[in-house]
Structure 1
Amino acid sequence: MAFAQQQLGAGARPGTDPIRVMVVDDAVVIRGLLSRWLDADPALTVVSSQRNGKLAVEDIEKSNPDVVVLDIEMPEMDGMTALPLMLAKKRDLVVIMASTLTRRNAEVSLKALSLGASDYVPKPETTSEVTTSVDFRRELIEKVKALGQQALRSRAPAAPARAMRGESARPPTPAARFGSSPAPAAPTPRPVNTREAFRTPAAPATTTVLGRDVKYQIKPYSPTKPRILAIGSSTGGPQALQHVMRDIGSVLGDIPVVVTQHMPPTFTAILAEHLGKAALRPSKEGEDGDVLKPGHIYVAPGGKHMILEKEGVGGVIRLTDGPPVNFCKPAVDPLFESVARVYGASTLGLILTGMGHDGADGVRRISSAGGSVVTQDEASSVVWGMPGAAAHTNMCSDVLPLAEIGPKIARVIKGMSR
């Protein structure tokens, strides 16, 4: 606690509320290093640094963090045991799991997402690698800032209106948004427009987001029945993907599904297994030379870009080891652009929750080729970066809450787009 007390309030920008961060890790060197990195950013302030889950849970109410970076393997109380106890004490707490790239930790991290964690960040295996990894430091700070800022924004504007109605100002946890637990009485504000408002492609659809009007145009669905579904997602994606797959599994008999989720190696293989169980369909990491089969799900492997090449009337998977695109590898844009080349107007794309803007260029390519794209709305997204960028291309055919995406996709696949 000495470090946290010394650092309390450091790094805050004048006139703004910094994101309050707790770091929980049993390794004193790692705990100190992460705390220094985070506290050096002017938008962040480290308010607590704890060596195990038990101490962290006990300190939640006192330190009142917005974001917790939580290690998985710790003595006395590990991260998975601490996670639900933390969320019980502070329902809108953002928890980012930190774990090394083992299969066990990948499984645990994905389970943590279903229990309410907002995201995960893979740690290098050794202290020396953590110390020198520029990518790990960048990803950690980006995720803490993006998720923390979203949490702060979701609280402040809605509080006065809710107070007038006598409702709680706390937004739902990520688990509640994805249907893993009952939603609280005061959901995050939803766009004021309804699905019917999207049916007039000539006029921009208007939605009120955080007190400001945001406009984007909606285009008609392709008249061509889809022959492939291509999905891109990032932060919050694993749970959103499973939600969608449960809804559409029964209609995937005639088309393949290709997925790029921003994930490291090992994680993507486990994600593929989970998606297969959710959809009750064969699912695997894509391999170079795989010929796409109807009813099968292919997930881009971590550390590789997955693209398609035309073979016969369909596509074949190619894995490439090029540089990151939009700081991501795998990236959504290369997949979407290649799908548009192979399948043209019979492409159906989907952008789910995630940070950044990866996929927006791919949306433009799919639309220009005559295909259709659906994107997730802000209210149901963990982060409305990727889906927001997709919506503002003015080339999507629908912007929908997560709960409506699966049923809509299922109707489009069956040729019932309206």
Structure 2
Amino acid sequence: MSPPSAPQRVCRPPRALDDDALSEIFLRLPPEDPKSLVRASAVCATWRRVILSDDGAFDRLYRAFHGAPPMLGFLQNTTLHARGRTYLVSNFVSTATFRPPACHERRRWRALDSRHGLALFHTPDRAEDFVVCDLLTYDRWRIKASQECSHIISHDANSSATTTWNAAVLCAKDRCDHLCCHGGPFLVALVGFDEGQGTTFASVYSSQTRKWSRTISILEPEGIDTAGHIAVAGDKAYFQCKHTVSIVEYNMGEQQLSVIDPRFDEEDRDLSYPLLMGVEDDGMLLMATVSRPPRLYLWSMEVVSPSRAGDLSRCRVIELQPLLPPRALFAMSIVGFAEGVGVIFLSTEAGLYTVELSSGRSKKVQGVVSSSLGKVMPYMSFYIRAWGRSPTSE
């Protein structure tokens, strides 16, 4: 008589995770790798429902969990030579695993600024003077300069120009945390300098009123750096002056202009004058420079009042030789800063590199550019859902 057979074990499939557990897992996917969320949402209907919920609950949780928006790429201006003519070209270079829908090259467009998920372009060959573009949704707003502002920017195309200017774009949503500014109101701040009159001008455009404010001016013989970086803190915009360490402060709320002259410690006077980079997480202005031997010097500055010069406080010195290859240590210049994630862009003979200020890690993000590379404008935004539509030709 054969022994009784052992009872068969029934293998049951593991219990499916509920929506809350799935959400906790998806929250930990890195925002700088948005393709991970795209792939996860395509696995099954359940995962897609959690990630792309109609009420946007996961979007809000994801942004709150990670804080500062990730850097998806950067805008830059280069020159293009074709058929005996030279064109200014603005383009978007992706640093993430998923390219926003509006990444095409724009001839005769000059990228001016990028902030709060928006990009600002100067378009002198079109009917309008400026275009503000959301690179994710591909929403665009065309802006015509006021008569006074047109006078400021029109000289720039003339070889005998005596006017220098720059402009910034920023979110105007009330009490916004700038984690998701898509579709909200915005401002465009324009600051210029007229050498003939020795005056600095400023005006601000509101997308809500679709009008420019009255132009204000002060007698200040400081030119505006047309390729300088711009910092925004609250309703104040800061513009780098030309060939000097001075900074113009434009208080858009109070409609006031002033010039700030940062003060150096004695030990820093032999260094190259620092450039305005942006705003740190604590609201302090960040300034930086590079020197030989290859070191990155960083300063913080608190603006107490328009009439009081700011004291520069050296916060860090980073040795670049251990971080970059030998060829990248020559012809080095700082060309950009990504706020919120603390990343500095360095243009070198070997290409464009980023250096994380917190970890010191470096990364090559672009090869050698044939034409001179000026300002790099990082594009920061969460890419959670497929917002965009197919871009049309400009």
Q: Greater strand share, 1 or 2?
A: 2
Of the two structures, which has the highest relative contact order with CA contacts closer than 8 Å and spacing of 6 or more? 2
TM-score by length of structure 1 reads: 0.24
TM-score by length of structure 2 reads: 0.25
Q: Greater helix share, 1 or 2?
A: 1
User: Could you say which structure has the larger radius of gyration?
Assistant: 2
